[in-house]
Amino acid sequence: MPLILNETARGVYAIATTPFSETGALDYNSVDSLADFYLEQGVHGLTVLGVGCWGLWVRRPN
């Protein structure tokens, strides 16, 4: 499986959301659950790190 998406990529690549806890920290348990779910559904890979455009909703501290 390719490490990056390029012209050789084939199949279904889910755009994974990034789960956060109530405090705003990365929710590692939910990351594991989501990855398991996507793989159980038969995806060939995951795309991560902002490709779903959530950046428009995340605010940086001033």
Reading the chain (62 residues) residue by residue, the pLDDT tens digits are 446 667 887 888 888 888 899 998 999 999 999 999 999 999 988 887 655 555 555 666 65
What pLDDT shows up at residue 42? 95
As a whole number of angstroms, the distance between CA 44 and CA 3 comes to: 12
Of 17, 3, 2, 27, nearest to 52 by C-alpha is: 17
